[in-house]
Structure 1
Amino acid sequence: MLDLELRRHKHIKAHEILQCVGLLISRMLCPQKRRFSDHWSTVSVGVVPAGTFGRVMSRNRFAEIMRNIHFTNNAAANADTDRAWIVRSISDTLQKTFKAGYNIPGVLAFDEAMIPSRSRYNPTRQYLKDEPHKWGTKLFLTCCSKTAYCLRLEVYCGKAHHTSSAAKKKAAAESSGPPAVMRNLTALLPPKKEKVFFAVVTGRFYTSIRLALELLTRNVYSVGTILPSRAGFSDLLTEKNRNRPKTITRGTVRMGVAKAVPQLGAMVWWDQKLVHVLATGARRAMLTCERRISGGKGRTTTVPCPSMIRDYQTWMGGVDVHDQLRLQRYSL
């Protein structure tokens, strides 16, 4: 039986690999909600005409190539220690291509993302309860805050893979969180130059005082929400109750500035819930913003809003917008 299968197998040619990649890109632009094989359907499915993929390659041939295609050498030394080794050559190529195809902007957004996967055979599978797809491969994404263009991605392979003596000296002992920000920005940004500054926006899981100070020494400003339990965060800006008491007006702000580093500032802002923000080089002006009224059927009200909050809300959406584009289910 095995000999029969081997005799039936046709050698894969270079142009067929290019055709497979082209079909995957076409699938991304016009995905099928039910299953991938519907692209070879003999009848129209919704607005997708029949037989579009079949003009390029048969379904069985495509499945055979995708089942056997492999881009890495399993005999390499890193194959046993790198959980993402099977896609390492692809991710390394994407890193170079993404960086070469776009000028690094002044403001970057850093956050995590998920490639959906429930396969038990996926060695990089993680569970993140707050993501739209809770099971999958976790990525660290560095995106342009304005256009959501992905400049760099890093596949998270677990704590043991990223934790090293060098990483511990640079930042915290964790493999993710603030050290992940430092790793990716160090690889992405050019060497420090006088009077050339960048800014990065991070979520609360990645923001820390130590990270902000390290970035500041590299001419990188930062702003992000922060967990009040982070080391060094002032007790004067923390509250036991996350909900805003009725005695405190919505939009109330309490702000602090570091004595040793005046560029470092932190604040707590009372919205419906408490919001803690840490920033370097940010404005400290008071502005206003529109917030929805609870139970107001869509009605809004104007509340005081510090410029740190406005900056965070303006620039943090880069990774979120990239997720929406990357995980979209309908044709563009």
Structure 2
Amino acid sequence: MYQYIGLTLYMGLLKRPKIKDFWCTSSIFRVPYPPQVMPRDRFYNIAWNIHMSDPAEDALNDSRKGMDNYDCLHRIRPLYDSLRVACKAVYHPQQHLSVDERMVATKARIALKQYIKNKPTKWGIKLFVLSDNTGYTVDFSIYTGRSTLVSGKGLSFDAVMSLIQKSYLGSGYHIYCDNFYTSPALFSHLHGLGFGACGTFRDTRIGIPKTKENALTKKSPRGTIRWIREGPLIFIKWMDTREVSVCSTLHTAFSGDTVKRACKVGGKYRAIEVQVPTAVKDYNQFMGGVDLSDQLIGSYSSWRKSRKWYVTVLHHFIDIAVTNSYLLSKQLCSRLKQQPMTHQAFQELLTAELCGVPSQPVLESYHHFPVAIFEGAPEQKKATQGRRKCRLCGKCTPFMCEACKVPLCVIVDRNCHKTYHSSACGTEK
């Protein structure tokens, strides 16, 4: 299984149109590494028969479809639960956390499939993800439908609270989310648990104060700020190119922060300082944790199209584990004051260790032959044109080493070429 996972990571680094192309021997693009790990048919057999749960128990669970004890995630449940525990067991996240959706692309005919028109991946299985500002996936949950709602306060409330667990995190964390999740009920509940929250909001959300007194208009100048406070909640509206609405339990309305914007002054556009609420500035800085995680996962993803939806989810779980491992490696290197590996170098090393077949370095063949420094000189200048000082004796010579590109004499009574390559300095070259 380690070798199988290692090969899926290898295929994420080195792309080919079809899986069988990695074992092809008649193509000019053939690669020698996968056949050293395992035969093609063995890889196919594992891919066709891989399961994360007992098939007999899957059949029993399928017979309960439509009942209360039916589990639509039964086929991935063992790995799903253990991976969530592992993500939280080996790393304690930083203070600023963000909650957002993630789509695992699939068009399988299952009830889990969702359609979100504003996402780059429109069809797939939707995950609610909790991440810190490094991109580490702290926790995640798979959306299985509205029938699983338990609080009665809406999907967005339940999605956030399923990820924010005080027994694990403690308190004092700052949670950032977009307008799908932001609501006064959620932020008040988080404040009661000891968590700060900040996010954009929709004016149509229940509990949002509505007033036209001293409100922003389309003609309000850029940088105009309006706010209303209700207990621990502050509702801020700021005019940028359009109106921006932010709710927070962490910030004051304005702390003197500014941001550069291009504004028309005297008929010309110039960069001027515009006042900005601290809540907006912090939201822009810390909300991108899940997007950063998606970017890292998509860089060298092991995902491949499959007819079985649980195999697609399996490869996404592998990508989460590998990406989190890479981020942990960077954290450890920074503490030890060492230069961290790049994402590609880390995945190459991990692939080689999982496969158990180390990559063989390509040895370059050097031909230390004396050749002319300058070729194509006219007949009367063949002995003089292109002459340089010999590296050993300092006298002029028209010859150099083909591999080392070092000028060296090659004459009857002074063979500096042979002396140079038989000495210690020539050996190091």
For Structure 1 versus Structure 2, the TM-score category normalised by the shorter chain is 0.7 to 0.9
Q: What's the counterpart of residue 208 of structure 2?
A: 233
Q: For the Cα contact (< 8 Å) 1:287–1:307, is it kept in 2? A: yes
Q: What's the counterpart of residue 5 of structure 1?
A: none
1:304 aligns with 2:283: no
- Change in CA separation of 1:236 and 1:97 when aligned onto 2, cut-off 3 Å: same
Q: What's the counterpart of residue 13 of structure 1?
A: none
Q: Note the alpha carbon deviations across 1:303-332, whole angstroms, 9 max, x for none.
A: 221100001001001001111111226883
Q: For the Cα contact (< 8 Å) 1:215–1:222, is it kept in 2? A: yes
Q: Note the alpha carbon deviations across 1:80-120, whole angstroms, 9 max, x for none.
A: 42222211211111101111121132111110001111222
AA in 2 matched with 1:233: I
Q: Note the alpha carbon deviations across 1:237-261, whole angstroms, 9 max, x for none.
A: 79999xx72x211121111111xx2
Q: Note the alpha carbon deviations across 1:52-87, whole angstroms, 9 max, x for none.
A: 222212233212211111121352676542222211
- Change in CA separation of 1:240 and 1:267 when aligned onto 2, cut-off 3 Å: closer
2: distance between equivalents of 1:240 and 1:140? 34
Partner of 1:308, secondary structure, is helix
2: distance between equivalents of 1:89 and 1:292? 53
AA in 2 matched with 1:127: Y
TM-score by length of structure 1 reads 0.78
Aligned with 1:177 (options 152, 156, 173): 156
TM-score by length of structure 2 reads 0.61
AA in 1 matched with 2:181: Y
1:274 aligns with 2:260: no
Q: What's the counterpart of residue 89 of structure 1?
A: 78
- 1:5-16 pair list within 5 angstroms: none
Percent same amino acid at aligned positions?
28
2: distance between equivalents of 1:52 and 1:293? 57
AA in 2 matched with 1:255: W
- Change in CA separation of 1:275 and 1:50 when aligned onto 2, cut-off 3 Å: same
Partner of 2:238, secondary structure, is strand
Partner of 2:276, secondary structure, is strand
Q: For the Cα contact (< 8 Å) 1:106–1:199, is it kept in 2? A: yes
1:61 aligns with 2:42: yes
2: distance between equivalents of 1:72 and 1:50? 34
Q: For the Cα contact (< 8 Å) 1:208–1:226, is it kept in 2? A: yes
- Change in CA separation of 1:52 and 1:283 when aligned onto 2, cut-off 3 Å: farther
Partner of 1:177, secondary structure, is helix
Q: In terms of mean alpha carbon deviation, does 80-89 or 314-323 score higher?
A: 80-89
Q: What's the counterpart of residue 9 of structure 1?
A: none
Q: What's the counterpart of residue 192 of structure 2?
A: 217
1:126 aligns with 2:95: no
Unaligned runs of 5+ in 1: 1-16
1: distance between equivalents of 2:261 and 2:19? 42
RMSD of the TM alignment (CA)?
A: 2.8
Q: Note the alpha carbon deviations across 1:132-189, whole angstroms, 9 max, x for none.
A: 11111110100012x11001011111111x223xx22xxx1x3x31221011102773
- 1:287-298 pair list within 5 angstroms: 287-291=257-261
1:143 aligns with 2:112: no
2: distance between equivalents of 1:238 and 1:41? 72
Unaligned runs of 5+ in 2: 302-342, 345-429
Greater Rg over alpha carbons, structure: 2
Q: May I ask how many residue pairs the two structures share in their alignment?
A: 289
AA in 1 matched with 2:158: P
1: distance between equivalents of 2:206 and 2:74? 35
- Change in CA separation of 1:299 and 1:33 when aligned onto 2, cut-off 3 Å: farther
Q: What's the counterpart of residue 329 of structure 2?
A: none
Q: Structure 1 stretches (4+) deviating beyond 6 angstroms?
A: 237-241
Shift of 1:123: 3.7
- Change in CA separation of 1:287 and 1:123 when aligned onto 2, cut-off 3 Å: same
- Change in CA separation of 1:36 and 1:287 when aligned onto 2, cut-off 3 Å: farther
1:320 aligns with 2:309: no
Q: For the Cα contact (< 8 Å) 2:215–2:226, is it kept in 1? A: no
Aligned with 2:15 (options 32, 35, 43): 32
Shift of 1:27: 3.0
1: distance between equivalents of 2:41 and 2:214? 61
Q: What's the counterpart of residue 208 of structure 1?
A: 183
AA in 1 matched with 2:5: V
2: distance between equivalents of 1:64 and 1:159? 37
2: distance between equivalents of 1:63 and 1:212? 49
Q: What's the counterpart of residue 7 of structure 1?
A: none
Q: What's the counterpart of residue 105 of structure 1?
A: 94
